[in-house]
Structure 1
Amino acid sequence: MRIRTTSTQRTYRYVRLTILAATLLLAVAVAVEQITGGSLPSLSAAYYTPAGPMFVAGLFVVAAAFVALSGHSVEQGLLDVAAVLALVIAVVPTTVEAEACGEAVRCVPPAVLPAMLNNGVSVASVVLVGVVAGVVLSIVQGTMSRGAALTAAAVGVVVLGLGTCALVAPGAFLLFAHNTAAVGFFLLIGAVAAIAAWRPQRAPERFRPAYAAVALGILIALAGLAAALVLAIAGGDVTRPVPWVFLGESLALVLFAVFWLLQTAELWNEPDPRLRA
């Protein structure tokens, strides 16, 4: 029997598949760079390699898809904030060891700062316009809720907070913005997975153990990354004999893909409200 669907239902399917495709795009680009250009100290270091355009493009696609999935649930609010953090990861590069750093051990090379400034201002402006437009539309349409207001406020705080930090303390911003955004991004994905695992009304029983494993795995990966970063700050070598940061980020990326694979499978046949009617 042919399953009846609507364009809305198919669109949500394709959006979730797009997230998986963007993740695969990023993974393949990094893998090709590992093979042709040598080992990377971290996934984020791909920004400075030929894989850089795919790294940035993949994150922008993920951010756009998160916004397209927007709804009124707690999970969707968390994903909206995660979308903003994905954009920060894309436009604010990680620090690297380079001759241009001078006396500093690591820095964002001066050569990329003009592009970062241009992209950062552009992204922040569009996000803030989007927040204002979303709030106005919600009020006009009568769909404003406490959750929507909190999400809009959280996004505004993230953007304005990072912008203020970049203006007041640019050195600290360049050192910590990327890693802070990356940790926050995966924490939010882990939180969404945890909600799906421990709130029975959110996911069928057969999916809950997998969601719990994803949430726990992301927490372990982030704990390992935190330990590696502390070791690096203390002067330790986290690239030999094992590239711990790269492995930790790769694990988090795999778990991210697993989460969206589960979401796609679970919600593939989610009824469209119009069909219920």
Structure 2
Amino acid sequence: MSGYSIKTYRYLRMAMVAMILLLAVALVIEWSKTDPRCLQTSISAYYYTPVRAIFVGCLITIGVCMVVLKGNTETEDILLNVAGILAPGVALVPTPGQGSCHSVPVALGDAAANVSNNMLALFILGVPCLLLTAYFIIRDRMRRPAGWTPMYVVGLGVAALIFGGGLAWFLADRSGFIGNAHYAAAIVMFLCIIVVVLVNAVEFRYRHTAPQSLANRYSVIALAMVVLPLAMVGWRALFGWAHAVLWIEGTLIVLFAAFWISQTQELWNEGVRQELPRSPQATPSPLRSSSRE
């Protein structure tokens, strides 16, 4: 049975990479149909182009995969869950700026009505999902008290806080939500992703000896995720740069894809990295497999 679990993890991981590539290809096709010097000021602004369906579908799919996949540590799992919860919000609430680089005009209809309908559906579905998660946590606590940790409750609490805060904002200030929720969700989502890479870099270094730590690929990606966006922000502040957000988003997405591919390669035969034991009685992950398929 563990072999099938490993295969499921592999497929989910590869699906996330496929979604990133699909979005990239759709963006390049749209760009090829406009003037080469004409670019939207952000990836999110391509919502207002023929890329919209791919943009929304890929972000929702990536968000689902982030929530479904178990993180290697409890901290990583919480961060992935938060990023996954926010991804549909980034997709369904468009950035206010439509930009000026379109291959063809795209009819939007009533954008506010679209957001109201789709986000309300998302919030309605989210309530039973949170309740079901709470049920699973309580059941796990009762059945396996030795393997249960308070971090499960912390994870649920963080998810409930993000969900509840978004719902309250949506109900109390609809216009403010429509105008700003995209930015808020995108910033927090990217921050969670950066911290996930940092967590992996620290854990990799902790697990390996000094000579091997020089090849800590997660540290290289984490450093790039922090330094490159800050350098772009600084350049924009000093010299002005209309497309800074586009390049920051693109850089972070490419680096996240590099991280995800690297982690997938590392965990190809395990599914989930074996956690360092908290006690002598700690048991290995049931997803560990010796399969070399």
- TM-score, normalized by the shorter chain, greater than 0.5: yes
Q: Please give the alpha-carbon distance, in whole angstroms, between the structure 1 residues aligned to 2:110 and 2:232.
A: 27
Name the SS for the 1:96 alignment partner.
Answer: coil
Equivalent residue number for residue 268 of structure 1: 268
1:83-142 Cα shifts (integer Å, max 9, x gaps): 01111111111111579xxxxxxxxx8821111111111112222321110111221243
Q: Find 1:13's aligned residue among 10, 13, 34.
A: 10
**Contact conserved, 2:89 with 2:182, CA < 8 A, in 1?**
yes
List per-residue Cα deviations over 1:33-74 (Å, max 9, x = no partner). Answer: 111145221100111111001001111111111122135621
Alpha-carbon displacement from aligned partner over 1:214-248 (angstroms, at most 9, x marks no partner) = 222222354357668989xxxx9642xxx222111
CA drift of 1:194 comes to 0.7
Other structure's SS at 1:273 match: coil
> Contact between 1:44 and 1:94, CA under 8 Å: does it hold in 2?
yes
Distance 2:206 2:12 in 1: 19
Deviations 1:182-241 (A, max 9, x none): 11111111111111111247766469632112222222354357668989xxxx9642xx
Q: How does 1:250-261 map to 2 (within 5 A)?
A: 250-261=250-261
2:22 corresponds to which residue? 25
Quick one: distance in 2 between partners of 1:224 and 1:97?
26
* Structure 2 contact 40–99 (Cα < 8 Å) conserved: no
Partner of 2:150: 146
- Cα distance per residue 1:6-31 (max 9 Å; x no partner): 11111111111111001111111111
Is the Cα–Cα contact under 8 Å of residues 218 and 255 in structure 1 kept in the other structure? yes
Instruction: Give, in angstroms, the shift of residue 175 of structure 1.
Output: 3.0
**Amino acid of the residue matched to residue 191 of structure 2?**
L
d(CA) in 2 for partners of 1:92, 1:203: 41
Whether the 8 Å CA contact 2:233–2:244 is kept in 1: the answer is: no
Name which of structure 1's ranges 262-271 and 21-30 shifts more when overlaid on structure 2. 262-271
Shift of 1:169: 2.9
Q: Distance in 1 between matches of 2:125 and 2:207?
A: 34
| TM-score scaled by length of structure 1 | 0.82
Structure 2 equivalent of residue 64 of structure 1: 64
Q: Using CA pairs below 8 Å that are at least 6 residues apart, which structure has the higher relative contact order?
A: 2
- Where structure 2 has 5 or more consecutive residues not aligned to the other structure, the ranges are 101-107, 272-284
More helix by share: 1
Q: Distance in 2 between matches of 1:10 and 1:186?
A: 28
What CA RMSD, in Å, does the superposition of the two structures yield over aligned residues?
Answer: 3.0
Indicate the residue corresponding to 1:105 in structure 2: none
Contact 2:201–2:218 (8 Å) recurs in 1 = yes
- Structure 2 equivalent of residue 103 of structure 1: none
Kindly provide the amino acid, as one letter, of the partner of residue 13 in structure 2: R
Task: Report percent identity of matched pairs.
Answer: 28
Q: Does 1:127 align with 2:126?
A: yes
Partner of 2:135: 136
Return closer, same or farther for 1:274/1:52 CA change in 2, 3 Å cut-off: closer
Contact 2:94 2:182 in 1 (8 A): yes
Q: Is the 8 A contact 2:2 2:289 kept in 1?
A: no
Indicate if the aligned counterparts of 1:86 and 1:182 stay in contact, CA closer than 8 A.
yes
Q: Match of 1:111, as an amino acid?
A: D
CA contact (8 A) 1:40 1:46 kept: yes
- TM-score by structure 2 length? 0.78
Mapped contact 1:77–1:151 kept (Cα < 8 A): yes
Distance 2:78 2:118 in 1: 24
Is 1:199 aligned to 2:203, yes or no?
yes
- The separation in 1 between residues aligned to 2:99 and 2:41, in whole angstroms, is 13
Conserved in 2, the CA contact under 8 Å of 1:47 and 1:55?
yes
Partner residue of 2:191 out of 183, 187, 193: 187
| Inter-partner Cα distance in structure 1 for 2:215 and 2:86 | 26
In the comparison of the two structures, how many residue pairs are matched? Answer: 258
Letter aligned with residue 63 of structure 2: A
Give the whole-Å Cα distance in 2 for the aligned partners of 1:118 and 1:229.
36
Distance in 2 (alpha carbons) for counterparts of 1:238 and 1:244: 5
Which residue identity is paired with 1:89?
Answer: V
CA distance, structure 2, for counterparts of residue 61 and residue 139 of structure 1: 28
